[in-house]
Amino acid sequence: MSERTEISEIGEFGLIGRIREMAYHGNKSTIKGIGDDAAVIDNGDDYLIVSTDALVENVHFDLGYVPLRHLGYKAMAVNFSDMAAMNGIPQQVVVALGLSNRFSVEAVEELYEGMRLACEKYGVDLVGGDTTTSRSGLFISVTVVGKVAKDKVAFRKGAKEKELICVTGDLGAAFMGLQVLEREKQVFQANPEMQPELEGKDYIIQRQLKPEPRLDVVQELARLGVTPSSMIDISDGLASELLHLCKASGLGARIYEEKIPVDRMTYEVAREFELDPITVQLNGGEDYELLFTMPQEDYEKLRNHPDISVIGYMEAGSTAVMVTKQGNEVQLQAQGWKHF
C-alpha cells in the first residue's frame, strides 16, 4: 500500500525541506539554492539573485477590496523585497498570469498599470512572462532577477553570537490594515448602503494594500558602511523570520518588547479589535520590513537612526526569547501565515 502524507502534517516549511532534498544541484555557479530569500548565482563580477513569489486570488488577496492597480503594485513590491533581503537590487521581472473570463482587457491593464508604477519607482524592467486561462480566479506569479556585490550579499545564515538584531520601519500595520478591510467588507455585505469606515486608518490600509520594498534601506546601509551579517524580509511576521535567522545561523536570539517598533495607529486599532498589540507586532505578516544582524562595532553608525531599531542580540542556543516590558521571558513561536 502506498503511503499518503497530508501536507498539513509537515507544513509549508516541512514541504520545502522535502523539495530541497530532491532538487538537482550540479552547477558550480549555484552559490545558494533553496532556503533563502533568493537564489544566488555567480555571475563573474557580481552575484545574480533570483526569486519568485505567487499571489493567488482568495488566498493572498480579495478583489472585493483590493483594487487591481494596487494588486499589480504589491505583486512587484513583494518580489523586490526579496532582493532587498539579500542586500541587493532588482533589475528585471517576468510575470505569469492565470486569468478567467471574468477579467476584461481593461482589468488586465489596471493590473499592469500598478506593476508599471512599481517598476518605474524602483527602476525594474518588465521583460517577459506567460499568459494562460484559469478556471478559478486570478493567479499572478512574478519572478525577479537582480544583483548584489559579492562582498555585500546577506544570507539568512551568517549571524554571530552577540551581534545586534535590527529591524526597519514599524511592525504590525499591514496586518491591522487587513483586519480593517475585512471588517468593512463584512459590514458592506450585510448592508450595501453602509459606507466603509476607513477614515483615519489610511496608514495601516496603505501598508496592507501598497507595501514598499525597503530598497532605500539597502542604499542607506551602504552609505553608512554597514554590511548586514544576515538578513531576511518580514513577510510572515517578526517571530517567524527571526526564527529563520536563528536556525540558519545556528544560534538563539533575545529581543526586547519595548524596543520593537510600532506605529501609534497600529497600536490603537489593535486595541480596538481587542488584540494584544505585541502579538500583532510579532506575528502580523506582510510588513515587508527588513530584519538583519550586524556586529556591535557598527552600533554607532545606526544609533538614533529614525528608521532602524536595534531590538536585541544573538546568543548561543536555538531558541528566540522576548523579554517583556515587565521583565518576563517568553519563547517565540513561528505563527506567521498558515497556508495549509
287 binds ligand ADP (CB under 6 A): no
Question: How near is the Cβ of 216 to ligand ADP at its closest, in Å?
Answer: 19
The C-alpha angle 153, 241, 92, rounded to 5 degrees, equals: 45
Q: Which member of 7, 29, 34, 62 binds ligand ADP (CB under 6 A)? A: 34
> Running DSSP on this structure, what letter comes out for residue 61?
B
Residues 112, 117, 120, 121: is their CA dihedral positive or negative?
negative
**Among candidate residues 230, 218, 225, 208, the one with its CA nearest the CA of residue 284:** 208
Tell me the number of residues near ligand ADP by CB under 6 A. Answer: 9
Distance CA 113, CA 142 (A): 15
DSSP string covering 4-39, please?
A: ---HHHHHHHHHHHHHHHH-----TTEEE-SSSSSE
H helices of 26-154, in order, are: 68-84, 105-122
Contact present, 303 and 227 (Cβ < 8 Å): no
Report the partner that residue 16 touches, choosing among Mg ion, ligand ADP, none (CB closer than 5 to 8 A by kind): ligand ADP
Closer to ligand ADP by CB, 235 or 281: give it: 235
- Terminal Cα distance for the chain, rounded: 25
Please say which residue, 147 or 156, places its beta carbon nearer to Mg ion: 156
What CA–CA distance (Å, rounded) separates 83 from 333? 26
Identify the residue among 57, 82, 163, 287 touching ligand ADP (CB under 6 A).
82
Query: In sequence order, which residues have a C-beta less than 8 Å from that of residue 214 and are 6 or more positions away?
Result: 81, 84, 168, 169, 233, 288, 289, 290
Instruction: Identify the residue whose cell numbers are 553570537.
Output: 161
Q: Which stretch binds Mg ion (CB under 5 A): 31-39, 137-145, 241-249, 296-304?
A: 31-39
User: Per rule CB under 6 A, is residue 37 in the interface with ligand ADP?
Assistant: yes
Cα(51)–Cα(156) distance, rounded to whole angstroms? 14
Q: Residue 19: which of ligand ADP, Mg ion, none does it interact with, CB under 5 to 8 A by kind?
A: ligand ADP
Contact residue for Mg ion among 170, 212, 233, 289 (CB under 5 A): 233
Residue nearer to Mg ion on the CB measure, 241 or 298: 241
Q: Pattern of binders to ligand ADP over 206-245, x per CB under 6 A?
A: -----------------------------x----------
Does position 37 interact with Mg ion (CB under 5 A)? The reply is yes
Could you tell me how many residues of this chain bind Mg ion (CB under 5 A)? 3
> Least separation, in Å, of the C-beta of 14 and ligand ADP?
12
Tell me the residue type at 162.
K
Stretch that binds ligand ADP, among 29-37, 107-115, 212-220, 319-327 (CB under 6 A): 29-37
Nearer to ligand ADP, 27 or 100 (CB): 27
- Which option in Mg ion, ligand ADP, none does residue 34 bind, with CB closer than 5 to 8 A by kind? ligand ADP
Tell me the window of 29-37, 196-204, 208-216, 319-327 that interacts with Mg ion (CB under 5 A). 29-37
Tell me the torsion sign for CA atoms 40, 46, 48, 49. Answer: positive
Nearest approach, Cβ of residue 126 and Mg ion (Å): 21
Picked from Mg ion, ligand ADP, none, the partner binding residue 263 (CB below 5 to 8 A depending on kind) is none
Q: Residue 167: in which H helix or E strand, if any?
A: strand 164-168
Query: Judged by CB under 6 A, which stretch of 33-41, 118-126, 131-139, 177-185 contacts ligand ADP?
Result: 33-41
Orientation angle between helical segments 215-224 and 68-84, nearest 10 degrees: 30
> What does the longest C-alpha to C-alpha distance in the chain come to?
63
d(CA 258, CA 310): 11
The 56-95 site mask, x for binding Mg ion (CB under 5 A), equals --------------------------x-------------
Q: Which amino acid is at 319?
A: T
Q: Which residues are near Mg ion by CB under 5 A?
A: 37, 82, 233
Q: Which residues are near ligand ADP by CB under 6 A?
A: 16, 19, 34-37, 53, 82, 235
